[in-house]
Each structure stands twice: as structure tokens, then as C-alpha cells.
Amino acid sequence: MTDREKQVPTAETGEEQERILVVDDDPSMRIALMETIRRLGYVVQGAVDGTEALERITKFRPWLVLTDLRMPRLTGLELIKEMKARAPQTAIVLMTAYGTVETAVEAMKLGASEYLLKPFSMDVLERAIANLKAGREEGVGLGQPVHQVEHRALLSQDPGMVRLLSTIEGVASSQATVLIHGESGTGKELLARFIHLRSPRAHRPFIAVNCAALPDGLLESELFGHERGAFTGAVIRKVGKFEMAHTGTLLLDEISEMNLALQAKLLRVLQEREVDRIGGRDPVPVNIRVIATTNRVLYREVEQGRFREDLYYRLNVFPVTVPPLRERVVDIPILARHFVNQSAMRNGLTPPVVSDGALAHLQRLPWKGNVRELENVMERALLLAGQGAILPEHCPPERSEEVTIPFVRAAQPANGSLWEMERELIFKTLARVKDNRTHAAKELGISIRTLRNKLREYREGEHSASSLPGG
């Protein structure tokens, strides 16, 4: 164990369900993973190979093991096999830089819960852990029936939403392609994960691709993969998302943003169930379930020539529309309390009481940003309330033009606490997503342009302050 690794808390105290074991023979990778997991609030230990991991399991009793594939003495696949014999309830994530479809399939057959291809971002790791934890809490894969929705935006008491979720539970067990319509921020991706966790593919990969976040050329490579030398810069073979999702579920988020050429390639994959890598000679068979989301009225996109009609009918097997938050006002109190509790946990604070006045005020707002906006508003309200209860004055005003952006206007004086709270929240979010502005803007419920303007304001404010006498 290195000196740096010794600095990572590895206490054997703490509840069993919060313990995670990292197995990797690369010290730098092991330390980075341990530090990230610790920051997420889990108790973590490390092991240099599969043999050491088996020695630690009996005493440490982790609920999750993250293991590398290629290691001395005992490989990742061998460790998975031994783990499932000794601790069958333990979730396992396989990590490797030598990923193939065959390896993924073998790992899943042996009992792995997830499969991550190196290099991956810490955001990907965080989402994988969160998904596995949510599945465990809901009883998925533990021999327990799932009866209720307990996952972020899917918390609901609205009769219409409850009926929708009940219907979806029935569809989830099928292989039908699902097309999810809904405004931005309504929780379309969460609904897709909900379907996956209740499907026969729940223990297989769930791969999400945001079609709006990538340029056309990069999106094609991400989806279909490429062979070495297929184009300038293709120095290694890349496995595409279709192959990574083999035996599992592929989410095509905001599919209406995909260009017509890629739509044609997607149609062929759905029809033939095989993928042609860029620069590849032989098609690769894939077994996937596709879920697509869109915030546009897709048949109107077809009428205007921006979306292929044949692809539309291929995707529109089981259409679902997620209602906006303003149409399920009854859910606002339960969601508001949930988000406050989650934010308090992230920030190491005691969850405050949300006053009845604040809840009534929240129910009168238009919520153009939907559930995502509510989540951001409650985090800001928590910070503004300090140690006291959340009151109406900690929430946005009822004037709609001020609600569309869930932050304080730049007109606030720089020495005022609201301006500082807004600035702190934005920078904390940027730090959490590793300075990815697109992801930060999505989490904050604002446009990327608004985020850029805010950052420019802060830079200009700092410059002005430094220019003052004595600054």
C-alpha cells in the first residue's frame, strides 16, 4: 500500500451497505477510484489483486466490488466466479481497457452487475454506483418484489402518473421498443432506467447516449464504434455503444437531434440487429432493447422532413408521454422534501423542515424547467435557510419571468448573500461534473449560454474587485 493510499480512509466501521471494495493492480487507478468513492460518502478499501480481495471480503463485507479484469494471481473474471460462490448478494462491477462484447457477456453470465470500459469518467462511475444502489434498495436482483417507485423524479402520488408507471411496469417485462415524450427536465432518462430495472435485462448493461450533446461525426463513432485506421486519429479500435449495450438496454436520449444520415444507419441496426463499425468489414450481431426519448413532437418532425418516417414507426412501438410538473401539482410537496433531504446529505447538513407556506408557494409556480428546476430550487432554498426552516421567501417569486432561471438575478449586489449563494452553487456543480459545462447546465436547469454569462459575470466581478484601491 502506498503512502497516498494510506491517507484514504479505510475504516472497517460503518454500515455494511455503505462499504465498497476496489480491486486493481494499478496503484494510481486504485487510489483515484478510492478517493472518488470516499467523496461520494462510502467506506472504501482497496486490494491489489483478486487473491487479496477474497481475503478482505470476509472481514470487510462490502456490498459492491469494483474489479479490474487483468490482474496477477487471480483475474477479474476468476474473482467474479469466486465472489458469487462466497457472497452471492454482493454486486460486482468489472472494469477493463480490453473490452469486447464476448468479455462483457462472460462477465454478466458469471454474475457481474455492470461493465465499465476504461478509460471512463468519474461521472460514469458515480452513475453506475447510484444505479446499483437504487436497484438494491428497490429489491431488484435480491429476490424481493418491487412495489413502489423510490427514485428521484419518479416519486409520485399523482393518480395519472401512478397509472402511467403501473402500465410501464407491464411493458418493461417485454422486449418492445419504448418512445418517451416529455418536456426537458421531466425525468425521461429516469423513466428509461425504471423500465430497464424492471425488465429481464436488469442485470445487463444500461447505456445512455445523449444525441444532442455530441457532434454528428463523434456521435456516429460513439454509437457504432470504429476500427483502427478508419479515419485520422483512429489509433485504436473503439467499441461503440450498441456493442457495449449487448444483452442490455440502449437509451437514445433526445433522438430528434440525430441527423438523417445517422437515422438511416440506426434504422438498419433496429431491422437487422447488427452493427457496422466505421471502417469495419464484417457486421457485429447485437442483442439490445432500445428506448428513445424526445422533447419534440416527433410526428411533426416527420411532417417537416427532419425525421425519417420509417424510423419513427420503428421506434413508436409503445409511446409514453411524461406529464410536466405543473400538471401533477400534488407531487410537488413529496418531491420538494425528497430533494431537500438529498441536498442536505450531499452538503453534510441536517435536513430542515419545509414549511407549509413554502410548499403552498411552490405549488403555485409554473415550473417551466419541471422536476430538474424543482431540484435546483430546493438546493438553493436549503442554503438560504441556513439552520432554520425553509420559508416562502427562500423560494423563487411567483412572477414567471423570474422563475424560468432558478437563480438570483445578476442585479443582486455583489455583497449580498443571495449572489454569493448562487455563485457558490454554480461552482460546486461545475466541480462535481469535472468542469463539464454542458452537464453542469443540465443539472442546474439553465441553458449553456446562461451558464457562460454567469461565469463571465463572476470573472468580471473578480477583476473589478482586484482593480479597487487596496485590492
pLDDT in tens, 21-34: 999 988 888 898 99
Question: Please, are residues 198 and 172 in contact by the beta-carbon 8 Å criterion?
Answer: yes
pLDDT by residue (tens digit) across 375-386?
999 999 999 998
> Which residues in 331-387 belong to E strands, given as ranges?
none
pLDDT of residue 307: 96
Of 291, 284, 249, the residue nearest 269 (C-alpha): 284
Of 23, 47, 178, 183, the residue nearest 95 (C-alpha): 23
pLDDT average, residue stretch 432-445: 78
Q: Is the pLDDT of residue 9 over 70?
A: no
User: Which residues fall within 8 angstroms of residue 312, CB to CB, at 6 or more apart?
Assistant: 298, 299, 301, 302
Q: Which domains does the chain have, with CATH numbers?
A: 3-121 (3.40.50.2300), 152-323 (3.40.50.300), 325-406 (1.10.8.60), 409-466 (1.10.10.60)
pLDDT of residue 444: 78
pTM of the model: 0.56
Share of residues in the chain with pLDDT > 90 (%)? 39
pLDDT of residue 11: 42
Give the model's confidence band at 152: pLDDT under 50 very low, under 70 low, under 90 confident, else very high.
Answer: very low
The answer to whether the peptide bond before residue 323 is cis (omega within 30 degrees of 0) is no
Give the model's confidence band at 442: pLDDT under 50 very low, under 70 low, under 90 confident, else very high.
Answer: confident
Using CB atoms within 10 Å of the CB of residue 292, give its burial: 0 to 12 exposed, 13 to 18 middle, 19+ buried.
buried
Q: Is the pLDDT of residue 365 over 60?
A: yes
Query: Who wins on pLDDT, 184 or 11?
Result: 184
Question: Please, are residues 407 and 422 in contact by the beta-carbon 8 Å criterion?
Answer: yes
Q: Is the pLDDT of residue 432 over 60?
A: yes
Residue linked to cell 416529455 = 182
pLDDT of residue 179: 97
User: Which residues fall within 8 angstroms of residue 199, CB to CB, at 6 or more apart?
Assistant: 172, 173, 249, 289
* Euclidean distance between CA atoms 179 and 293, whole angstroms: 6
pLDDT by residue (tens digit) across 293-305?
999 999 999 999 9
User: Which residues fall within 8 angstroms of residue 133, CB to CB, at 6 or more apart?
Assistant: none
pLDDT average, residue stretch 171-179: 93
Of 248, 136, 242, 245, the residue nearest 202 (C-alpha): 248
pLDDT by residue (tens digit) across 75-117?
888 999 888 888 888 889 988 766 555 666 677 778 887 777 7
